[in-house]
Amino acid sequence: MAGEVTLSADPGATLRKWRTEFEVSQTDLAAELDVSPSVVSDYEAGRRTSPGIGVVRRLVEALLTIDERRGGHHVRQFGRVLSAGFDSDIVHDLREYPATIPLSRFYDAVDATEVAEGKATTVAGHTVIDSIEAITRLSSEEFYRLYGQSTNRALVFTRVTRGESPLVAMRVVTPTPSAVLLHGMTPESLWEHAPRLARADGFSLAVTDLDLEEMLERLRALP
Q: What angle do CA 70, 89, 69 make, to 5 degrees?
A: 10
Helical axes 37-45 vs 26-33, angle rounded to 10°: 110
Amino acid 134: pLDDT: 83
Measured from the Cβ of residue 139, the count of other Cβ atoms closer than 10 Å reads 8
Q: Per residue of the chain (223 residues), give pLDDT as tens.
A: 677 677 777 888 888 878 887 889 999 999 999 999 999 998 888 887 777 788 888 888 999 899 889 887 767 655 554 445 566 678 888 887 877 899 999 999 999 999 999 999 999 889 999 999 888 887 777 776 776 666 788 999 999 999 998 998 888 777 788 999 999 999 999 999 999 999 999 999 999 999 999 999 999 888 7
CATH topology of domain 75-220: 3.40.1390
* 46-50: Cβ within 8 A, 24+ apart: 46/10, 46/11, 46/12, 46/13, 50/11, 50/12
User: Could you tell me where in the chain the CATH 3.40.1390.20 domains are found?
Assistant: 75-220
Residue by residue, DSSP assigns 97-119 as EEEEEEHHHHHHHTT-EEEE--S
Whole-number Å distance between alpha carbons of 9 and 221: 34
pTM for the full model? 0.63
Break the chain down into helix, strand, coil percent, rounded to 5.
50, 20, 30
Amino acid 148: pLDDT: 64
User: Could you tell me where in the chain the CATH 1.10.260.40 domains are found?
Assistant: 2-71
CATH of domain 2-71: 1.10.260.40
Whole-number Å distance between alpha carbons of 192 and 202: 17
